[in-house]
Amino acid sequence: MGSRTVQRITEVSALRNYQFPQVSSLRCSIYGYNFVHLFLVMDFVLWFISNWSYHYYCPMAHPVRPHSYIKMDNFFTGMSLCFQNFGRLCKGLILPTKIFKNLSIFKSYDALYQGAEVVRLYKTLLGSEGFRKGMDLYFKRHDGQAVTCEDFYAAMRDANDADFANFFLWYSQAGTPIVKVQTSYNPEAHTFSLKFSQEIPPTPGQSVKEPMFIPVAVGLLDSTGKDISLSGFYHDGTLESVSYKDQSVITTVLRVTKGSQLKKKNLCSLIFERPVPSLLRGYSAPIRLESDLTDGDLFLLANDSDEFNRWEAGQILARKLMLNLVDDFQHDKPLVLNPNFVDGFKRILSNSSLDKEFVAKAITLPGDGEIMDLMEVADPDAVHAVQTFIRKQLASELRAQFLDIVKNNRSSEEYVFNHQNLARRALKNVAIAYLASLEDQEFTNLALDEYKAATNLTEQFAALAAISWNPGKARGDVLADFYGKWQDHLPMVNKWLSLQAVSDIPGNLENVRQLLNHPAFDLHTPNKLYSLIGGFCGSPVNFHAKDGSGYQFLGEMVLQLDKINPQVASGIVSFFSRWKLYDENRQKLMKAQLEKILSSNGLSENVFEIVSKRLAA
């Protein structure tokens, strides 16, 4: 339910945010999107580690089809999103098979999540018609058979007589490609040049990387933000037409296949002014893109016909802003929010032509994890301070707009599941969350009123979440009320546990320890463990406390759980996965816990594999 653009944004956000082990981005996302959607996937998201790491250091990084491991269990992650994404592209499910030591425990759902993006690459390269031809040939050849990735690859290639040189590296090579783009305009020739280079940071077991086959969907905008029609481009001195049925197009897919050297592609058309490139439209490949676009270019992309890139332009601006403010915070400079950023939010909120669900996405800030992943040394304190500052500033300066959104999107009607109502709820919930961040009694009362008046769980849980971030009597009362109403509904109890555990309330570790003894918690139920323990590890303030108390707590829980459920223990120990990305003191504290775990007697193979690889990396 919802637009394709919003669904794609959700998928890309998952790839970017949930890959970071602490997933503190989820905590920030609670301020920005459909709450029930987030918490329906929280159980696995809180311990999900994507293996397409944006950072060079990822000791458990592996390709879609891993070549070796000790325990296949350690590649088990949530399956709902991967099957959902894959199913939208094709009806055939191709399991990436190898000769496994223990095939009966093959549960590599994270590989399927990655595999969904790889399958999408075929469709991007071949188009809908070509992809359909490939699927038809695939079913003709293999219906009812056990198949491999090679079989699917061959069907796509043969049905379209396509050149897929080095495409199969997407299955065998770990790591996220970093593609850099340089642009230039020739006013005399009326051409626009794009120079591409790519690199893939080394990962354990793969220190040398081969260049990938990367489709980059590109369009051009003029100075008014309108699309420029494209007729062709020069590649290696050869003019290639990009027209479709003798008609010019506004989007074409360029193939980046070379490595570190710059590869130039000239887009041809009657281009009479320097255009703004709309790069990686629809997130055409799971890469990290670096370009020379200016802030002015990014503001112009707010008019892009590609809705995904309209959202992405805002995210790029937000990431740049947040990283600059993090630097200011670290150097004890006063934090000042760029007024242009506030104006951008105001324009989005006042644009009635935009889909409300898209607006909810567009005003959601990048998560803590995404920002820390872009830092040389991850600083959870600085990132949290900046997130809090920006949210409060936006809430303060756009207070009237957020109040209007809440008022205009209320509904006392019986719950109806359709896009119109889903979008209305999503936007209203974002507005309530922003207002609640001001820690003003007026807005606490507003959230309480919404909680009591809610006719569905989406809105009730959103109001509960908004209230729960601030300590006080209202928080305790509403949490107790919610548990009293839903204590017999296990999924909602799990969300209730997660919500409290992920809170940044000072000293929340003690609350989490008390919840270990609550009737709602069961040490032998994996989903409750992921909700409570994983939720706590999603708090940059409390898990990454400078005194190491959060790390000590996780270490204790890993050793305790390893005796009960090694697979769960290996999942939660992964919150230590990037210990080398933090400051020296935090590195020392996390390493001490890893060494303590590794030296314990009777350690399971599951936990041994994860911990030993983290220490050896």
pLDDT in tens, 457-470: 999 999 999 999 89
- Write down the pLDDT at residue 414: 81
SS3 breakdown of the chain: % helix, strand, coil, rounded to 5? 55, 10, 35
- In the chain, where the domains are located: 62-172, 178-285
> What integer pLDDT is reported at residue 411 of this predicted model?
84
- At 20, the pLDDT band (50, 70, 90 cuts) reads very low
Q: Is 260 helix (H, G, I), strand (E, B) or coil?
A: coil
At residue 319, the pLDDT reads 96
**Cβ pair 67, 98 in contact under 8 A:** yes
Instruction: Give 517-552 pLDDT, tens digit per residue.
Output: 999 999 999 999 999 999 999 999 999 999 999 999
Across 204-218, 314-328, 501-515, 586-600, least confident range: 204-218
Question: In this model, does residue 68 exceed pLDDT 60?
Answer: no
pLDDT tier for residue 32 given thresholds of 50, 70 and 90 = very low
Average pLDDT over the chain, rounded to an integer: 84
pLDDT tens string 348-358: 999 999 999 99
- Which alpha helices (DSSP H) does 352-440 contain, by range? 356-362, 368-372, 380-397, 399-408, 419-436
pLDDT of residue 232: 76
Q: Which of 39-48, 268-277, 452-461 has the highest mean pLDDT?
A: 452-461
pLDDT higher than 90, residue 318: yes
Tell me the pairing of strands 288-291 and 178-186. parallel
Residues 502 and 530 sit within 8 Å (Cβ to Cβ): no
For residues 529 and 146, give the distance between their C-alpha atoms in angstroms, rounded to a whole number. Answer: 36
DSSP E strands in 223-378: the ranges are: 232-235, 238-241, 252-256, 263-268, 276-279, 288-291
Select the CATH number that applies to the domain covering 62-172 from these four: 1.10.390.10, 3.30.420.40, 1.10.8.60, 2.60.40.10.
Answer: 1.10.390.10
Contact assessment for residue 424 and residue 411, using Cβ atoms and an 8 Å cutoff: yes
Cβ–Cβ < 8 Å for 327, 309: no
Q: What is the pTM of this model?
A: 0.83
pLDDT at 600 over 50: yes
Does pLDDT of 13 surpass 60? Answer: yes
Residue 372: predicted pLDDT: 92
Which residues neighbour 476 within 8 Å (Cβ) at sequence distance 6 or greater? Answer: none
Sequence-distant (≥ 6) Cβ neighbours of residue 203 within 8 angstroms: 53, 56, 58, 61, 62, 174, 175
Tell me the CA distances in angstroms from 251 to 103, 216, 371, 510, one per residue in order: 43, 10, 30, 54
Place of tokens 């936990």: 607
Q: What is the pLDDT of residue 46?
A: 30
Q: Using CA atoms, how far apart are residues 203 and 577, in angstroms rounded to an integer?
A: 14
Q: In angstroms, rounded to a whole number, what is the distance separating the alpha carbons of residues 406 and 463?
A: 11
Give Cβ neighbours of residue 539 (< 8 Å, ≥ 6 apart): 24, 27, 501, 502, 503, 504, 508, 550
Per-residue pLDDT tens for 278-309? 999 999 999 999 999 998 888 888 889 999 99
Three-class secondary structure of residue 213 per DSSP:
coil
Task: Give CA–CA dist 182/196, Å, rounded.
Answer: 7
202 pLDDT more than 70: yes
pLDDT in tens, 553-568: 999 999 999 999 999 9
User: Could you tell me which CATH class the domain 178-285 is placed in?
Assistant: mainly beta
What residues pair up with 196 in beta bridges, in sequence order? 181, 263
Confidence category of residue 98, pLDDT binned at 50, 70, 90: very low
pLDDT score of 60 more than 90? no
Cross-strand partners of 233: 240, 267
- The proportion of the chain whose per-residue pLDDT surpasses 90, expressed as a percent, equals 64
More confident position, 99 or 57? 57
Amino acid in the structure at residue 17 = N
Whether the CB-CB separation of 22 and 538 falls below 8 Å is answered with yes
- Whether 265 has a pLDDT exceeding 70, the answer reads no
Rounded to an integer, what is the distance from CA 89 to the centroid of its chain?
19
Confidence label for 108 from pLDDT (cuts 50, 70 and 90):
very low
Q: What is the distance between the alpha carbons of residues 113 and 116, in angstroms, rounded to a whole number?
A: 5
584 versus 300: which is more confidently predicted? 584
